[in-house]
Structure 1
């Protein structure tokens, strides 16, 4: 199983020096990937509860860096690790501009980009960027159509219900062909069908492994129905640990536990068939140097198992 680490793009330590330090150190430690999230708004009172942490939005979101710029900086200071978005709220961006940005990042990183897309959770952000909250699935499908066309055609045009792209020559092509892998954070039947039908994989959040693998089996069946090989799909599992000083009841993991319990969870995930697991320590109260130390102890513990 591959192991990844989230970049410090949220909260008090989010700055260029921290991104460079974590990027270089993670690659030296042996991590396989670096990840960056997406946020444009931190309302004092969100219109809907946060889907976690007791419904309270983490205050670290009040300081948020651009995910693609952050990954570009990480790309400039690393050679090997893959660079992923978990998740990029792709519907906030005009598809043609999104295609250009993603392609550029794949080129400058020499083919290390993984595009993880999601819908986000807060309608307020959609209001702020002038995109409707409703019909997000249809907007995503058309966005994916534009990305596919931009990546695979030398001359490209698109005419859809939401977007029109006049015929154009596309000289900028991604390093990865036909394009960088696109994964989706989804937990609905429609999302599972979309993954199985046309995407490269799934971006779930940490949960007990039995329901996680049950959902993965549903995605695999959707791939088979679309006459795709389910073995070609990939799961990248996000873990946002709530670290405790003493061991918690096993039923509390992965919601909370000691570092050793999260190491055990990662080992069990590898045994269950999870392809990649990445750790996001951005919501822990520890300082940056302490989080780097935790990341080192985590990968050593998992690899030793």
Structure 2
């Protein structure tokens, strides 16, 4: 099992100077990866679709995910660096490709590109991007990234974007390209994972639900002539850590460190599976953040 943590980025952790030292300390704990997330705003009225209704207030204070990942790249030497999840549709894919290529070079080939659609209409409205047609927009975004990153000149003609044959350099350090992981929890999203991605940005959830979703991706991969065993799974958990054991039914996200880790172990069935522990909703203290990270490392390792 691989073990990753969130890059300090939200609420009281939205301080690049703080992030530098904490990323260095997290790498020193021996973790395998560090991950950024993506938010544009936190509506004062409860947005549709957020579990429990109102979003945490700290999501209204945030660092840009790609710039935060650049900070993490310069503060570390070994860990993989990824996004879980970057909302890919809020900028033109050619602009996104340039930023991601730069990050792969800055990190000396340590970038994992984790992208998704997002789920909040308010953010799409604020970014001036249509809410309708998101799936088709993501498919063409992936087409443009592939075109930009493959060797040789770049050309693309699609319903949304046209790139006349051009030189676009440099290319990413990783070949044939940085790994692309896709988020999502619908059958359409999991079908796309199996058909196009290098892995799935998942979440800690009840095991039966997890297996049902993964079956959709596995079947889609087989139909596309791909080996499902080659797909990675990154399981995000935003833990609510308690001092005493919680209801076992909540163990996928709430309970003692051991209780949460026991559930994560049941989900990790392959050597390529990875756990992403985001502690930014668990504590306001950098010291406590690192203490908990060390506890999760000791328990999972």
- 3-state SS of paired residue (1:162): coil
Pairwise CA RMSD: 1.4
> Which structure 2 residue ranges, 5 or more long, are not aligned?
none
Rounded Cα–Cα distance in structure 2 between residues aligned with 1:89 and 1:152: 22
Alignment coverage as a number of residue pairs? 301
Q: Which moved more, 1:17-26 or 1:234-243?
A: 17-26
What is the distance in 2 between the residues matched to 1:26 and 1:165? 40
Normalised TM-score (structure 2): 0.96
Structure 1: which 4+ aligned runs deviate by more than 6 Å? none
Instruction: Provide the C-alpha distance between the structure 2 equivalents of 1:211 and 1:128, rounded to a whole number of angstroms.
Output: 33
**Which residue of structure 2 aligns with residue 31 of structure 1?**
31
Work out whether 1:143 is the aligned partner of 2:141. Answer: yes
Displacement of 1:286 in angstroms is 4.0
Structure 1 137/18 Cα, relative in aligned 2: closer, same or farther at 3 Å? Answer: same
Q: Distance in 1 between matches of 2:29 and 2:56?
A: 28
Native 8 Å contact 1:238 1:277 kept in 2: yes
Determine if contact 1:49/1:57 at 8 Å carries over to the other structure: no
Partners of 1:151 and 1:274 in 2: CA distance? 24
2:255 is paired with a residue whose SS is coil
Q: CA deviation at 1:16?
A: 1.1
For 1:207, the equivalent position in structure 2 comes to: 205
Q: How far apart are 1:274 and its partner, in Å?
A: 6.7
TM-score, scaled to structure 1 = 0.95
Taking the TM superposition and a 5 Å limit, the aligned residue runs for 1:75-224 are: 75-224=73-222
Change (3 A) 1:191 1:163: same
Q: How does 1:276-295 map to 2 (within 5 A)?
A: 276-295=274-293
Deviation at 1:179, TM superposition (A): 0.8
The Cα shift of 1:18 comes to 2.1
Measure the CA separation in 2 of the matches of 1:272 and 1:231.
8
The farther-off stretch of 67-76 and 160-169 is 160-169
Deviation at 1:4, TM superposition (A): 0.2
